C-alpha cells in the first residue's frame, strides 16, 4: 500500500501494544534495557544468551522476513556479552553474535542485514569446535554500517566512520573514514571541518520529537475511517 489507511486511534493502539509487548516479553531477556526504546514488531526480535544491554532511546526495527538476532554463545564460562549504546538504530535482519565481547557505541546505525561477529564459530583446523578463534569487536560512536555489511572478529571501527553496503571488515577502520569493499579499505575521510549531527543530537528532546511525529500522523491520517481501512484490506484498489 502507498499509505496507512488505519484510523489514527488504531495506529496509537498498535504502537501502545508493541510498547507493552517489548516491556513484558523482551525486557526480561536484556541485562539492561534503557528508557525510551522503540521496538517495531518486537515479536520478531530474538535474544539468545546474555548479557545483552541496550541503551536509552534506541530504535529496533524487525520484520517477519528479517528478524533481529542478538546472540551470546560463549565457551568462556559466561564471559561473552553484547553492549549497544544509546540512540542506536538497528534495522531489519541485523545479527550480532558474540562469543567474547561486542561493544557498539551510542548513535550507531546498523542497516538492514548487517552482521557483527567476534568469532569464527568453528575451528579452522578442528571443524568440530563450536566457537573457534574469537577476538572482541569495538565499534565507536556514531558509526554507520551499511546494508548487508559484515564486521568480523577483532575489528575496531573509529567514531563517525561509514562502512559501505556489502563490505567485509576484517581489519581496523580509523575514525571519520569511509570504507567499502571485500576486504574493506578506506576510500576517503570525512571533512573534519564540517559539524556532525548524531542521532543523540536528534533525540536530545524526545518529548518534543514524539509530539512532532504525533502531529504529522494526525495530519496525514485525519481523513482515515474504519470503513475505508477495512475496504483497503478487503477490496484494495489502485492508489491505495
Q: Answer yes or no: do 54 and 145 share one domain.
A: yes
Give yes or no for residue 192 having a pLDDT over 90.
no
For residue 7, give the DSSP letter: -
Q: Answer yes or no: do 49 and 25 share one domain.
A: no
- Per annotation, catalytic residue among 8, 29, 122, 133: 122
Strands (E) in 112-161, as ranges, are 115-117, 137-139, 144-145, 150-151, 156-157
Structural contact between residues 98 and 75, judged by C-beta atoms closer than 8 angstroms: no
Instruction: Provide the pLDDT for residue 39.
Output: 97
Instruction: Provide the pLDDT for residue 43.
Output: 97
pLDDT per residue as tens digits for the range 29-56:
999 999 999 999 999 999 999 899 999 9
Instruction: Provide the pLDDT for residue 50.
Output: 84
Please name the residues in contact with 179: beta carbons below 8 A apart, sequence gap of 6 or more. Answer: 161, 162, 163, 164, 167, 169, 173, 185, 186, 187
What share of the chain has pLDDT > 70, as a percent?
98
Number of structural domains, the chain?
Answer: 2
Query: Structure pTM?
Result: 0.93
CA distances 182 to 152, 159, 164, 190, Å, are 12, 21, 10, 21
CATH of the domain at 124: 2.160.10.10
User: Residue 169 is part of which domain span?
Assistant: 44-200
Instruction: Provide the pLDDT for residue 20.
Output: 97
Q: Answer yes or no: do 101 and 25 share one domain.
A: no
At 179, list the grid cell: 570504507
Taking Cα atoms as reference points, which of 75, 121, 114 lies closest to residue 96? 114
Q: Answer yes or no: do 65 and 110 share one domain.
A: yes
Q: Answer yes or no: do 124 and 151 share one domain.
A: yes
Which 3 state secondary structure label does DSSP give 214? helix
Which 3 state secondary structure label does DSSP give 99? coil
Does residue 38 sit within a domain? Answer: no
Does residue 36 sit within a domain? Answer: no
Q: Answer yes or no: do 58 and 137 share one domain.
A: yes
Does residue 181 sit within a domain? Answer: yes
Q: Answer yes or no: do 12 and 104 share one domain.
A: no
Q: How far apart are CA 230 and CA 147, in angstroms?
A: 35
CA distances 147 to 128, 164, 165, Å, are 31, 7, 4
Instruction: Provide the pLDDT for residue 212.
Output: 94
Q: Residue 5 catalytic?
A: no
Q: Answer yes or no: do 56 and 94 share one domain.
A: yes
The mean pLDDT value for 94-98 works out to: 97
Question: Using CA of residue 199, residue 201, residue 206, residue 211, what is the dihedral sign?
Answer: negative
Does residue 35 sit within a domain? Answer: no
Give yes or no for residue 156 having a pLDDT over 80.
yes
Q: Answer yes or no: do 25 and 140 share one domain.
A: no
Q: Answer yes or no: do 79 and 158 share one domain.
A: yes
Instruction: Provide the pLDDT for residue 77.
Output: 66
CA distances 67 to 8, 73, 90, 222, Å, are 27, 18, 11, 32
Q: Answer yes or no: do 59 and 169 share one domain.
A: yes
Give yes or no for residue 1 having a pLDDT over 70.
no
Does residue 212 sit within a domain? Answer: yes
Taking Cα atoms as reference points, which of 145, 123, 144, 120 lies closest to residue 134? 120
Instruction: Provide the pLDDT for residue 240.
Output: 78
Instruction: Provide the pLDDT for residue 76.
Output: 63
| Least confidently predicted of 126-130, 133-137, 227-231 | 126-130
Instruction: Provide the pLDDT for residue 3.
Output: 86
Give yes or no for residue 220 having a pLDDT over 80.
yes
Structural contact between residues 67 and 39, judged by C-beta atoms closer than 8 angstroms: no
Q: Answer yes or no: do 215 and 106 share one domain.
A: no
Amino acid at each position: 500500500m502507498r499509505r496507512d489507511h488505519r484510523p489514527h486511534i488504531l495506529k496509537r493502539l498498535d504502537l501502545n501494544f508493541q510498547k507493552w509487548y517489548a516491556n513484558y516479553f523482551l525486557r526480561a531477556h536484556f541485562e539492561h534495557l534503557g528508557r525510551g526504546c522503540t521496538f517495531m514488531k518486537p515479536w520478531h526480535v530474538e535474544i539468545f544468551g546474555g548479557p545483552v544491554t541496550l541503551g536509552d532511546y534506541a530504535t529496533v526495527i524487525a520484520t517477519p522476513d528479517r528478524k533481529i538476532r542478538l546472540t551470546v554463545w560463549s565457551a568462556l564460562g559466561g564471559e561473552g556479552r553484547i553492549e549497544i549504546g544509546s540512540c542506536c538504530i538497528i534495522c531489519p535482519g541485523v545479527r550480532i553474535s558474540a562469543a567474547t565481547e561486542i561493544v557498539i557505541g551510542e548513535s550507531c546505525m546498523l542497516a538492514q542485514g548487517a552482521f557483527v561477529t567476534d568469532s569464527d564459530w568453528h575451528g579452522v583446523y578442528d571443524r568440530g569446535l563450536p566457537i573457534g578463534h574469537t577476538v572482541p569487536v569495538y565499534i565507536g560512536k556514531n558509526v554507520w554500517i551499511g546494508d548487508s555489511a559484515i564486521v568480523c572478529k577483532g575489528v575496531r571501527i573509529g567514531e563517525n566512520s561509514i562502512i559501505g553496503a556489502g563490505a567485509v571488515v576484517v581489519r581496523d577502520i580509523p575514525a571519520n573514514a569511509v570504507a567499502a569493499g571485500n576486504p574493506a579499505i578506506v576510500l576517503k575521510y570525512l571533512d573534519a571541518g564540517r559539524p556532525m549531527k548524531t542521532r543523540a543530537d536528534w533525540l536530545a528532546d524526545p518529548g518534543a520529537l514524539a509530539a512532532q511525529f504525533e502531529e504529522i500522523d494526525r495530519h496525514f491520517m485525519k481523513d482515515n475511517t474504519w470503513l475505508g481501512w477495512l475496504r483497503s484490506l478487503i477490496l484494495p484498489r489502485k492508489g491505495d
